[in-house]
Structure 1
Amino acid sequence: MHAMQYHIDLPADYDMNIIRRRVMDNGWKTDGYKDLLFKAYLITEKDKHRSLHNGYCPLYIWKQAKGMTDFVFKGSFDHILRSFGWKQIHIGITYSVHFTHDFNCSKYVLEEYVTIHPTDCLETLDISHLFSHFNDTKGEVIVYNPDKWKLVKYSFLDSLPENIDKKVHTYEIVHLSIDHSLA
């Protein structure tokens, strides 16, 4: 599986309801999309949930690279390019993916990055202690990028914990397109 995410930074005075409406009108188009396990339509909103800026940062988990390639090169990503300009797409490889039966009820995503430090043995690397742990998660996805030697954990929740470490980014889920097997 592959993870894909792009970040669209928006002006501080941007009306985030524009993004919400865009997702309401179009989010269904990725429901059941070929090779897509899920797409979380994520936003950050200035002065909400500790966010310092407005942004649209969708996260995709692809079951197969073919679906991701088709999405990027066969017209679907062109809508982003026309609306927001040239964007860098961050790609990662899934390390682990876990969901509960009510994953589709998630309302928030917490994103946490950690560095994989140089070692002479990755086989014994225990990543479980590297990340924060949250109660009542509806899903967790851990992605790695060996190009940058980074890990990122996405925790899906229906409510936000009270004390979140400053290094953890908070997103609101506006829509969740999921593979029918997760519904």
Structure 2
Amino acid sequence: MYAMQYFVGLPSDYAMSTIRDRVRRTSHLMDGFAGLELKAYAVREKARGASRNEYAPFYVWRDVDGMRSFCWGETGYSAIVRDFGRQPIQDWTVAGVTQGPHGYADTTSLLLRTVDLPEGIAPSQCLEAVTEPFLGGTDPDTVARVAAVDVGTWRVLLAELSTRPADEGAPDHTGYEVLHVAAGP
């Protein structure tokens, strides 16, 4: 499995209702997308305490073929390039996914935190110590938790989809409001 996210920074005076309308009109196009586990349509708004306005969808792919089809195909990422320019895509190798008591349709927020793996220690000796407490520690508001590794930096991404409201100005994580979650077949 793979996770990915791109970040579309938007001007401070950008009408975020434009993004909300876009998601309402087009989010159904990702439902049933081959190879997709989930796509969280995530936004941050300066008016809600975020450092900037941002559209930043977060994806979990079951396989590389689905991810490749989305990124390189005529549909999918091509719409982002057309409307906002080609944005760099951050990607991670998924170490684990845990489902919580809620379904994807109940998601209202995405919380992201990164943790550095200790220097000089093989991932096989420290990865579980970082990921297992997070993956096993779901609470009543959890929709899903994803632990994923950037093997270029050896940083672990801890992502939680939740029914709690997003805290977009929190200092210890990045919080996003989730407008919709699309799920694969």
* Same fold? TM cut 0.5: yes
CA deviation after TM superposition for structure 1 residue 128, in Å: 4.7
Contact 1:5 1:89 in 2 (8 A): yes
Gaps of 5+ in 2: none
The one-character-per-residue Cα deviations of 1:136-159 (angstroms, maximum 9, x if unpaired) are 322101111111111111111111
Instruction: Name the residue aligned to 2:98.
Output: 98
Q: Which has the higher helix share?
A: 2
Instruction: Name the residue aligned to 1:151.
Output: 156
* Match status 1:64 vs 2:63: yes
SS of aligned partner of 1:124 = helix
What RMSD over aligned residues (CA atoms) do the two structures have, in Å? 2.2
Cα 1:111–1:58 change in 2 (3 A) is same
CA deviation after TM superposition for structure 1 residue 114, in Å: 1.4
Gaps of 5+ in 1: none
SS of aligned partner of 2:142 = coil
**In 2, Cα distance between equivalents of 1:86 and 1:128:** 32
Which residue of 126, 130, 154 maps to 1:127? 130
* TM-score of the aligned structures, taking structure 1 as reference length: 0.89
Contact 1:103 1:156 in 2 (8 A): no
CA deviation after TM superposition for structure 1 residue 179, in Å: 2.7
Range 99-108 or range 137-146, more displaced:
99-108
* TM-score of the aligned structures, taking structure 2 as reference length: 0.88
**In 2, Cα distance between equivalents of 1:26 and 1:165:** 30
The one-letter amino acid paired with 1:71 is F
Cα 1:35–1:23 change in 2 (3 A) is same
Cα 1:122–1:171 change in 2 (3 A) is same
- Paired residues, number: 178
Contact 1:134 1:161 in 2 (8 A): no
For 1:1-183, list aligned pairs within 5 A.
1-48=1-48, 50-75=49-74, 76-104=76-104, 105-125=106-126, 126-128=129-131, 136-160=141-165, 166-180=171-185
The one-letter amino acid paired with 2:58 is L
